[in-house]
Structure 1
Amino acid sequence: MCKFTICIPSYNRAHTIQKPLESLVEQTFKDFEVVVVDDGSSDNTEEVVHPYESLLNLRYIKKINGGKHTALNRGIACAKGELFVILDSDDQFVTTCLEKMAKLWDGCKDRDSFCGVMGKSMTNGKMIGRPFPEGLHSLSYVEYHYGDYAGWFLDCCECLRTDILKRYSWPENLETKFVPENYVMDQIGLKYKLLLTNEIFMDKVYENDGILKSATKPLNVLIAFTRP
């Protein structure tokens, strides 16, 4: 058991994946594992990742291409950390990200009601979206996506309890390679809240092409929220 599992889902990102890996090498907090889930890349991603196995507690998993959601299913299934963080293969953490996440989570006095910590991201040196208002200390994913603050905060960065994530999964074999992360996050949001902070955790880059292969057919499923 470690404090964090950092999951990097990747598809043909040999040209960008060094950036998130370097940001992990530079973290001030060291109690974490890294799971790189290669979603059927045809480039030299494995060759680029391999040297980091001696620098980080890293596992490289290669699977048949199925979409980012299937890569997340695999990463969560094998995660050993108390907290789970998704790090896209073209983004990077600020140096103190995991240290600050751990401190905030360890200070949580009501963990049965909370699923994790949500902080802010930046791009080109500027915070993405609005800061969390003063006095707003917690929010559920449902409130975040559909409540009064919907659309305010945009891309954030969060760590989530691994034990909660392991109760859920994204559906596979739907003739699509895109199922949004919200499919699982909103179900979690029916029961749990996130601790909020305006600390900057992540530096994001928006590439012209998506992280994984495009869907062969558009997603057309009814999401039924159920409590596991």
Structure 2
Amino acid sequence: MNKPLVTVIIPTYNRAKTIERSINSVLSQSYSNLELIVVDDGSSDNTKSVVENIDDSRVRYIWQNNSGACAARNNGINNARGEYIAFNDSDDTWKPNKLEKQLEVVTKTGADVVFCKLSIPVKNGYKKLQPEGINEGFVNFRKNSVAGIGTQTLLFKKKVLTKFRFDEEIPRFQDLEILINIMNSRNYELYCINESLLDDYKVSRDSISVNSNKLITALEILERKYPDLKNISPALSRDISGYFRFSSKIEIKNKNYFKAVKYEFKAIMYEERKKLLYPWILLRDIVRFLK
């Protein structure tokens, strides 16, 4: 029996220092019937030469003008020949059995999309598996929040990605948005492997830690596209509430109190169980900052 071909897509931009490790972690998979498409999103460093120096016929290099990681992922999907499609990031590495384990789950369960956890070092050698609220098995979209599922953990049946694409306008939560879209269709099953099949993931601090522009833009796009999200997935709605609260706290630190109040009330909208508490929480945060 012929093994199905898996297409792995790595979008990259100026990652010449890390891309080789990411590629090698894919090429050294115990499941070897794969093709690897590296989509270069207009790098200005020597990413192209690093990729082209890798001597493996399974690797394909595609250049595009700088359009963003989601455009690169969609470009890879358009060029994929595999029956299954997986993604890695150009600075992440997989464990050797990732694809093998995920394909075993697909065969056993019939799942359309399979993901594993991310192992995140916290402190003193302790690691947590993210997302924390989902256990092994099929995901109930109403009861389980799909926030925190990383693109690099996902394996799709290609038929899913013939109907859905990554939103190229959203600046954050691209993985979350496509999963909401897929799960909201109610035509596909999502399965969780309750272990990490990637090397430890380090959460980077970026500009979002000092301003909430990208975060808010992404949340507003989700609001517009999925106005009934609170009813579709109450569990995810609570996480969206938390993101708005996080944005509110950033605006308090930046002394943008009007925005802080606006985002706090959006948080209330997504988490009605705490609607009587949020005004007091907002007032407490402002007082703490002013001290």
**Residue 43, structure 1, aligned to residue 45, structure 2:** yes
Match of residue 30 from structure 1? 32
Q: Deviations over 1:129-180 (max 9, x none)?
A: 23743xx51015xx2xxx44337865471201112112122355x5x76672
The yes-or-no answer on 1:122 pairing with 2:119 is yes
2:48 aligned counterpart, secondary structure = helix
Distance in 2, Cα, partners of 1:28 & 1:21: 14
The amino acid across from 1:11 in the alignment is Y
Equivalent in the alignment of 1:76: 77
> Relative to 1, partners in 2 of residues 1:56 and 1:2: Cα closer, same or farther, differing over 3 Å?
farther
Provide the C-alpha distance between the structure 1 equivalents of 2:181 and 2:147, rounded to a whole number of angstroms. 21
Checking the alignment, whether the CA contact within 8 Å between 1:7 and 1:36 is kept in structure 2 is yes
- Kindly indicate whether the alpha-carbon contact (under 8 Å) linking 2:112 and 2:190 is maintained by their aligned counterparts in 1: yes
Question: How many angstroms does 1:2 deviate by?
Answer: 4.3
Separation in structure 1 between the aligned mates of residue 150 and residue 20 of structure 2, nearest angstrom:
22
Deviation (angstroms), 1:224: 5.3
Letter in 2 for 1:14: A
What's the offset of the Cα at 1:42?
A: 0.6
CA contact (8 A) 1:82 1:162 kept: yes
**Contact kept? 2:147, 2:176, Cα under 8 Å:** no
Match of 2:179 among 182, 185, 208: 185
Q: Which amino acid aligns with 1:47?
A: S
Q: 1:27 is paired with a residue of what secondary structure?
A: coil
Cα distance in 2 for partners of 1:131, 1:200 equals 15
**TM-score for both structures, normalised by structure 2:** 0.62
User: How far apart are 1:88 and its partner, in Å?
Assistant: 0.5
Q: What is the letter of the counterpart of residue 25 of structure 2?
A: S
Contact 2:106-2:114 at 8 Å conserved across structures: yes
Partner of 2:145: 150
Bigger radius of gyration among the two:
2
1:133-144 map, 5 Å: 133=135, 137-139=137-139, 143=141
Question: Quick check: 1:93 aligned with 2:90?
Answer: no
C-alpha displacement of 1:207: 4.3
By percentage of residues, which structure has more helix? 2
Higher strand residue share: 1
Distance (Å, rounded) in 1 between the aligned partners of 2:38 and 2:128: 27
Q: Which amino acid aligns with 1:58?
A: V
- Counterpart amino acid of residue 188 in structure 1: I
CA RMSD of aligned residues (A): 3.0
SS in 1 for 2:18: coil
| Greater relative CO, 1 or 2 (CA 8 Å, sep 6+) | 1
Q: Provide TM-score, normalisation by structure 1.
A: 0.77
| More deviation, 178-187/3-12 | 178-187
Gaps of 5+ in 1: none
Count of aligned residue pairs for this structure pair: 207
Structure 2 residue identity aligned to 1:49 = V
CA distance in 1: counterparts of 2:26 and 2:150, whole angstroms: 20
Question: Does the aligned pair in 1 maintain the 2:18–2:90 contact within 8 Å?
Answer: yes
Deviation at 1:46, TM superposition (A): 0.4
The residue type equivalent to 1:119 in the other structure is C
* Distance of aligned partners of 1:153 and 1:58 in 2 relative to their CA distance in 1, 3 Å threshold: same
